[in-house]
Amino acid sequence: MTTTDPVAVEVDGLRMRYGADDVLRGVTFQVRRGEIVALLGPNGAGKTTTIEVLEGFRARSAGRVRVLDADPAHGDERWRSRLGVVLQSWRDHGKWRVRELLAHLGSYYAPYATPASRRPWDTDSLVRAVGLTEHADKKIRTLSGGQRRRLDVAIGLVGGPELLFLDEPTAGLDPQARLEFHRLVERLTGDHRMTILLTTHDLAEAEKLADRILVLSGGRIVADGTAAELSERMAGGDEVRWTLHGRRFTTSTRESTAFVRELFGEHGAAVADLEVRRASLEDTYMALVREQEAAR
Ligand SMILES: Nc1ncnc2c1ncn2[C@@H]1O[C@H](COP(=O)(O)OP(=O)(O)OP(=O)(O)O)[C@@H](O)[C@H]1O
């Protein structure tokens, strides 16, 4: 992915009002082809609303939105076949069996196959990719929460999408399933050149998976950059702690390496118990959200 790759998603001044409540007040961002972008924000910030507008499931109040070169409000079936959607939770299809449902849903995509995009995804390899082989013949209502979530992801992938929307994909997954899901996402963007926009409350997950992180708060995107860029924005920078002649010291600095060099230059072996704590994405995120809350 480079900054010259074509744009898959373009959002400019998106506004959403529910009754008298302005949830989105001018959201602006882009996602390039092949990028994984994580959308973060507190509960109720409007992440699901944003994603649903992009999917064409929700009519926006104002603003310009283009998804794979179309306005989602007017997207046709061919356009829709190029998107994959994993909503927060599906609670339907209980009587179907896993393999049977995926084969059935996949059949809807067959007419939209092109030489460049084979559609649908082969059922058995999809079941394997999401780690459901052992459960492929089970009725869906008998799946555990985590198995159900894997199936949700498979449903989002069955059409072999170019662009995948994942709304809290790992909520309820155990650590092993979460790790497997992360590997799957990496394969999707690597081998399949998929573009992914995901929401999550897990900052470590965002940092690990996403090329770029967007923070939505107060109805606007208040940060847009790599995890490292966002961490650098943190006021005060890294925290350095040390002990000198039995006394404990703490300072915050943006230049922790230079600071530590000077500390040793001045005090040498008298410096003990040195700790350097890098400003984390979590620090930045919490500071940004608190700033927005204070400004209300
Ligand atoms: N159909 C609706 N009618 C009225 N208000 C709505 C509707 N859908 C969402 N909202 C409100 O809009 C706000 C944003 O909701 P949304 O689900 O988009 O947030 P979110 O960032 O995805 O939250 P979470 O992290 O809790 O999933 C909330 O205050 C919610 O109550």
Which tens digits make up the pLDDT trace of 201-225?
A: 988 899 999 999 999 999 999 999 9
Q: How far is the CA of 47 from the centre of ligand 1 (A)?
A: 8
| Ligand 1 atom closest to the CA of 19, numbered from 1 | 4
Q: How many CB atoms lie within 10 A of CB 227?
A: 21
Tokens representing 162? 């170019």
Find out whether the beta carbon of 41 lies less than 6 Å from any atom of ligand 1: yes
Find out whether the beta carbon of 47 lies less than 6 Å from any atom of ligand 1: yes
Q: How far is the CA of 167 from the centre of ligand 1 (A)?
A: 13
Which of 14, 15, 17, 18, when mutated, tests ligand 1's pocket best, judged by the most ligand atoms within 8 Å of its CB?
A: 18
Q: How far is the CA of 69 from the centre of ligand 1 (A)?
A: 27
Task: Reply yes or no on whether the pLDDT at 5 is more than 90.
Answer: no
Burial class (CB in 10 A: 0-12, 13-18, 19+), 247: exposed
Find out whether the beta carbon of 43 lies less than 6 Å from any atom of ligand 1: yes
Confidence (pLDDT) at 59? 94
Find out whether the beta carbon of 46 lies less than 6 Å from any atom of ligand 1: yes
Confidence (pLDDT) at 3? 60
Q: What is the share, in percent, of the chain residues with pLDDT greater than 70?
A: 96
Assigned CATH for 7-230: 3.40.50.300
Q: How far is the CA of 265 from the centre of ligand 1 (A)?
A: 55
pLDDT in tens, 243-290: 999 999 999 888 889 999 999 999 999 999 999 987 778 888 888 888
Q: How far is the CA of 221 from the centre of ligand 1 (A)?
A: 16
Q: How far is the CA of 190 from the centre of ligand 1 (A)?
A: 32
Residue ranges, comma separated, of all CATH 3.40.50.300 domains in the chain are: 7-230
Which of 24, 25, 48, 202, when mutated, tests ligand 1's pocket best, judged by the most ligand atoms within 8 Å of its CB?
A: 48
Residue for token digits 């897990």?
Answer: 202
Confidence (pLDDT) at 4? 64
Q: What DSSP state is assigned to residue 88?
A: S
Confidence (pLDDT) at 235? 55
Confidence (pLDDT) at 92? 73
Confidence (pLDDT) at 89? 67
pLDDT in tens, 87-112: 876 667 778 999 999 999 999 999 98
Find out whether the beta carbon of 89 lies less than 6 Å from any atom of ligand 1: no
Q: What DSSP state is assigned to residue 133?
A: G
Residues 6+ apart with CB under 8 A from 120: 105, 106, 107, 108, 109, 110, 113, 158, 159, 160
13 and 63 in contact (C-beta within 8 Å)?
yes
Q: Span 132-141, mean pLDDT?
A: 94
Q: Span 184-207, mean pLDDT?
A: 88
Q: How far is the CA of 79 from the centre of ligand 1 (A)?
A: 26
72 and 65 in contact (C-beta within 8 Å)?
yes
> Using 50, 70 and 90 to split pLDDT, how confident is the model at 147?
confident
Confidence (pLDDT) at 236? 60
> Using 50, 70 and 90 to split pLDDT, how confident is the model at 172?
confident
> Using 50, 70 and 90 to split pLDDT, how confident is the model at 241?
very high
Least confident piece of the model among 12-16, 18-22, 245-249, 253-257: 253-257
